[in-house]
Amino acid sequence: MEETWKVVGRFLTQKMVKLEFMRQVLASVWQPVRGVQVTEIQRGVFLFVFFHRTDVDYVLDGGPWAFENNALVCREVPPNTLPGEIPLNTIDMWVQLHDMPLGYTSQTVLEQAGNFIGTFVKHDDRFEGAPWLTFHRIRVSIPVDKPLRRRMKLLKRDKTTAWVTFCYERLHRFCFYCGLMGHLYNFCIKARDSSIPLERYPYGPDMRAGGSRSAPRAVGESWLVPVGGRPRPIEVDGGMTGAAVVRPSGAVPVRGRFVAEEQVEATGKRRRQAERDRRGTEFEGEDVIMQEGSKNLSMAGAAAQSRPSQ
C-alpha cells in the first residue's frame, strides 16, 4: 500500500471546468516528484492525490493556484475524513502590508491586521530583524463570499491615524465593483445596475501585487498518475549512503524542485571576410559586425514577433 496525501478543491467559477485540460496544466505547474492523480468526485469538486509529503506542502503553501484565471480553493483532507465534508469557503493568500508606520510592525500588529483581512495564518519571517522594509507579508485565510479589504485605518498611541494599504499576491479574477473573487465587473449585476463609471469603481488592478502574470501551458503528462496506477519509483542516490532521494529520471534539483536536465548553449552568427580592402590591408579571419537593416530584422522576425508566454 502506497502512502498518499489527499487535497480537495474547487474553482471559483460558474463555468464547466474541462477535467483533462485542467489536470494537464496543474500537473505541469506543480511538477510533483512522484506524480498526482486528479479526479472529479462531485460536480465542480476535484480530488488531488499525491504520493510525497513535499508535494502537498508545495501546493498548499505556494498558492493560490488558478486554471484559466479562476482561483483554486483547496484544503488537505485529514485522515478518516470524507473529502465532501471539507468546507471550501476560504482561500489562503499572501498579503502585502504597505505604508506601515515605524514602531507598529510587531508580530501582534501584523496578526491584528491579518484578522482584519480574514484569519491570520503566519507572517513571512525571512527578513525579520531588518531595520526597514518596503512592505510586510502575512499569510491570511480569506473568505471567498466577502469583499476583499482594500486598506485599514491604524490608530496609533498618540491618537493619530495612519492608512495601511493591502496588495494581494497571485490575485486572480475578481470584481472591481463589489470586490468579490470569482467574477469580473462585466458580469456583476451590481455593477450593471449602478451608474458609476469604471474609473470610479472602489477596486482596481492596483490591488494585485506585482501585476498580472500569464501561466505556462506546458503538457503535464509525465507527472500524472492514472487512476489505479502506481506512483513514480524512488531512486537511490549513489552519493548518499543508504539515503533514498526522490528524483525523477533525467532530472536535477533546482531550489528544492526538480527540472529536466537540459543544457542550453548560446550561439551567435558571424560572417568571415577574407578579402583585402582598398588600401591593401588584409582582414582574413577577422569577425565583422553585421549592421542592422530591414532585411535582417525581417528574417529574424523582430519586426512583428510577439513576446512568448512564460
Mean pLDDT of the chain: 76
How high is the pLDDT of residue 52? 92
Return d(Cα 210, Cα 134) in angstroms, integer: 14
Distances from the Cα of 5 to the Cα of 10, 19, 231, angstroms:
17, 20, 12
Q: Is the pLDDT of residue 109 over 80?
A: yes
Domain with 120, as residue range(s), is: 90-209
Single residue among 165, 184, 209 that ends a domain in this structure: 209
Cis preceding-peptide flag for 64 (omega within 30 of 0): yes
Q: 298-307 pLDDT, tens per residue? A: 333 333 434 4
Residue 235 lies in a domain: no
pLDDT tens profile 9-50: 999 988 888 899 999 999 999 999 999 999 999 898 999 999
Predicted confidence at residue 235, as pLDDT, reads: 66
- The whole-number pLDDT of residue 142 equals 93
pLDDT at 1: 75
pTM of this structure: 0.64
The backbone torsions φ and ψ at residue 26, rounded to the nearest 5 degrees and listed phi first, read -65, -35
Specify the CATH number for the domain of residue 54: 3.30.70.330
Whether 174 and 71 map to the same domain: the answer is no
